[in-house]
Chain A
């Protein structure tokens, strides 16, 4: 299966530091990130012929501005044939890249700008964020009336995973520590002070066994990337991040419908992605794993085949995933340390995967990074998505 392998590439990336910007309008994050991405790609703004703003959750009013072409007008893009929102919550990065690649492969577009912005840090209150995520993506008939929200969602998976695998609180907390070690090296991350296992395990209990420091924090931010054909990419840069493979598995809408709370659809998605790329998990040099809560990083790591079932916790604990480790993982600090900016959580990870392959990751550059895997998932972990990028197209 190699129908799309290496036909398109990410050639430009942009990102603003995740943070709290009460005085800045949300559109500014999109505009800044988009302009950085255009400059990074080395193309003229009027070469962009398709714009994909993903969704912003903090304001329905603002989101309609993204839907109705505000980014195109603000940037003065003159040759855009379509501005169309691609939004699937936390998996928007993969779906955006998938849609952009499809447009390019079929000749419907030549250079696609995907852009994300959201203001969940200062655009909603702390309790407002909890309340938002007790309705957004939660079944209003079958779950919201029982107090379901994203902490309980993650906790339900964590409880069952611990029961089935024997994983410990140390294993879960090790994910937070690993991601923080990368965030310490990332100027775009919000939490950059060193974090210890003890601090994680002493933090306030939210929904058992999930503690405050096992939880992401909602923040403001934005990121963008530009996708073009492999041919055009080679004209533009020596370091395109080729799209080698992707896979996905939609498994539920309402969380309780998920048949396997400790696996989801990752194995199926990974099989598709690695198959299309012509690679195996052993070929991966850097793993950007979606981490809104530590349990999801452990599960995806295992189900991708990067280690065996129930083994991920030890791997994070002993440092294989840390800077200098065998498999650099979630190297931007992830949603746990860089910060959760809505759909942008996975956009950040995809941008980071491209950044690592482009050799632009500075202090946290993974050595000899040729192949990267990125995972993304939306809603209550409804649609495991796997993307494989590379600096070269495997023969």
Chain B
């Protein structure tokens, strides 16, 4: 009896010790001592960097902001297809976080988040943790490589790039196109919507065709689209293919790539095998891994449901999600990420002050696609909060260009200058 009791006590003590370990882990060092109200922003792309800047700017620098980013530089995904066309390089699309730190007093932590504890309100990194009053995550997208047999992150890095996050893979894809013989075939795939940047794949086909037209006129572009039809700016893209690149671009709808053969660069759909000289597979997409760490991914296992007045998670209080990771009918674009970031920043400032956020958030999206070296087309919409639907709804009057033009090409370049400046400077 007494032995049993002693044993029971021992087990109890062990249990307490085991239970204490996560506590010890979270009691690790606070990376930056928290002095006042603090917002931690994870992810410094279009959405996250904008949220960090605007919280500092609109709070009169009262709220502490810690911005966590794993990359050293900012690289714009919008306009990165022009790297494939040859009118820009990745360095033209690259910025840094110096001004956010110096001018706005944003604390930048370069590192990878390893865990998030919504109850203790802490973000863990390898070397310590950050406490927050409110957390904003802007995790962007991750790729569901497992949906395409034969494909993996490693394969994408080494030989079959997605190039759907601007950077090394974009440059690699350009080099593959340069090395391709005249008369070769470029095959690209598009996943079922929703995915990042709806018109982006069709813009890419135009940029690659633009390069082929100038340097490899016997070459072909084949688009394998999992969707039943072109998802964005349909008439404008089909006109560009027909008028600018006659006989060069072949579009196949309802063509879902389910497997690749890496060695022979062959894409396999349910009905056909297509061999490529250069293969570019865009796997299905979901919210970036940080969303999973925060436990804010919805039942679909892909996107995060939010309250559109504040972008606060429907799952966890005090965690906000912005940008491509959000589940909504809003387009997954760079402009949209910055617009959401501002509504979120404004709401976070009010909520930390115990007040209600703006009850009628209104935002807009302007999205250009370069269809040649110097011509662009656009889609533009205003979206406003609909209380009954609890959703952002497109206002009347939005739509696409009448026709491609050089004037819009120039405005697209101006857009890039202004949005990068708005995010970083």
Task: Please indicate whether A and B come from the same complex rather than being unrelated chains.
Answer: no
Q: Which residues of A contact B (CB under 8 A)?
A: none
Q: Which residues of B contact A (CB under 8 A)?
A: none
